[in-house]
A and B are shown apart, each in its own frame.
Chain A
């Protein structure tokens, strides 16, 4: 097999991903990759292995002064006067929940639950639909729909590990997409989050995800609420 073929390049893929090729070698490999689908496929298959390497390092606590120094510089660059006012305004406008203190490492009850509508209509002149899903003694979910949006309420949740959050998802036209909000259980095992767009949504789901959320669900749903159409 020629050294210029993909067989001759296979060993270089790992070195390339590890940043261990010299600049000229890397450029040469990149030219090969542009025309070799087999090598590109192998490169992408290997890539997550390198991306996981930094996750393997022993955790060392960052000094608090680093955070202080960094935020001082950031707020200074953002505008020393405008930034705090804008922050308070936004926070007050959107959310009023207190940060959860002492979030302990516990485990969520995983329960896929069936949903049923208990109230629907416009009683009192409001356009509200309440959907309750429950599977005692598991998690209970309630979606209160108001027009095109709604609020998801959960109960009987156990606390999450510190490095996980809850993430809401909606299934619409066969596709599962994030509702773009992350939340954690309150200390009493309840949690709520807003679903901005429920139009055409068939199912509302919640999964446990790493802090920062995920692009797609990476764990089974804790709850799955079928929405009446």
Chain B
């Protein structure tokens, strides 16, 4: 392993902030796969997913020093950036004004250390387990969550698409997230 490979993500970020390409390469090798997968899931085209992933990582390369470890894990921060860029690409393509800005700092709010630790533990759940929980959700709850997170639709847009009241959409979002949170938190406390 190279020196950079031995470093935790949080230790890589200062090196990336100092424009160390080796540190960035390790960072990409760790997270490029899930980043591209997320971008592809949102935009649905390989070429567009490549563009989104490249834009997101270049953004991180140029602003790596802005990452604040007190505000959450690097991976969560990075995936938030990818998601925002992908949703913006999706909305631009469909002729809609970008709904999300590029304020990467807003992706993670400050959280107490104990919550960060819990989030780290939650990240250890495999993608299969997360998918399993999503599949167990009532269809109407899973649908509104996916339309919002992966489709970038607002709750009012979703209400219009599904022909249900706005309050119903918000309620389904809450119930669905509560179930995901409850299922994946089992065993942590």
A50 → B minimal CB distance (Å): 7
Residue ID in chain A nearest B170 by CB atoms: A11
The reply to whether A78 and B123 contact each other, CB–CB distance below 8 Å, is no
The reply to whether B79 and A67 contact each other, CB–CB distance below 8 Å, is no
The reply to whether B121 and A218 contact each other, CB–CB distance below 8 Å, is yes
The reply to whether B156 and A182 contact each other, CB–CB distance below 8 Å, is no
**Interchain CB contact (< 8 A) of B125 among A52, A178, A180:** A52
The reply to whether A54 and B6 contact each other, CB–CB distance below 8 Å, is no
Q: Which residues of A contact B176 (CB under 8 A)?
A: 14
**Interchain CB contact (< 8 A) of A48 among B41, B127, B181:** B181
Residue ID in chain B nearest A71 by CB atoms: B25
B68 interface contact, C-beta 8 A: no
B83 → A minimal CB distance (Å): 6
A87 → B minimal CB distance (Å): 5
Name A158-200 residues within 8 Å CB distance of B: 167, 178, 180-184, 193
- Please, how many angstroms separate the alpha-carbon atoms of A59 and B36 in the complex? 8
The reply to whether B32 and A183 contact each other, CB–CB distance below 8 Å, is no
Known: A12-B170, A55-B130, A57-B37. A74 touches B7 (CB 8 A): no
Q: Which residues of A contact B8 (CB under 8 A)?
A: 167, 178, 180, 182, 212-214
Name B3-23 residues within 8 Å CB distance of A: 3, 5-11, 19-22
Q: In which size bucket is the chain A interface? A: 35 or more
* Contacts between chains A and B (CB distance < 8 A), count: 230
B67 interface contact, C-beta 8 A: no
- Please, how many angstroms separate the alpha-carbon atoms of A20 and B169 in the complex? 10
Q: Which residues of A contact B1 (CB under 8 A)?
A: 95, 97, 99-100, 182-184
A215 → B minimal CB distance (Å): 6
Known: A18-B145, A60-B37. A52 touches B130 (CB 8 A): yes
A residues with CB within 8 A of B: 10-15, 17-23, 44-63, 66-67, 69-71, 73-75, 77-79, 83, 86-87, 90-91, 94-95, 97, 99-100, 167, 178, 180-184, 193, 210-216, 218-219
19 sample A-B contacts, Cβ–Cβ < 8 Å, listed by A number? A12-B170, A18-B149, A18-B173, A20-B173, A45-B181, A49-B180, A51-B79, A54-B34, A57-B34, A57-B37, A57-B41, A60-B36, A62-B33, A66-B32, A66-B50, A70-B58, A78-B21, A99-B1, A182-B6
B residues with CB within 8 A of A: 1-3, 5-11, 19-22, 24-25, 28-38, 40-41, 46, 49-50, 53-54, 57-58, 61-62, 69, 72-76, 79, 82-83, 87, 99-100, 109, 111-113, 115-125, 127, 130-131, 134, 145, 148-150, 152-156, 158, 167, 169-171, 173-174, 176-178, 180-181, 184-185
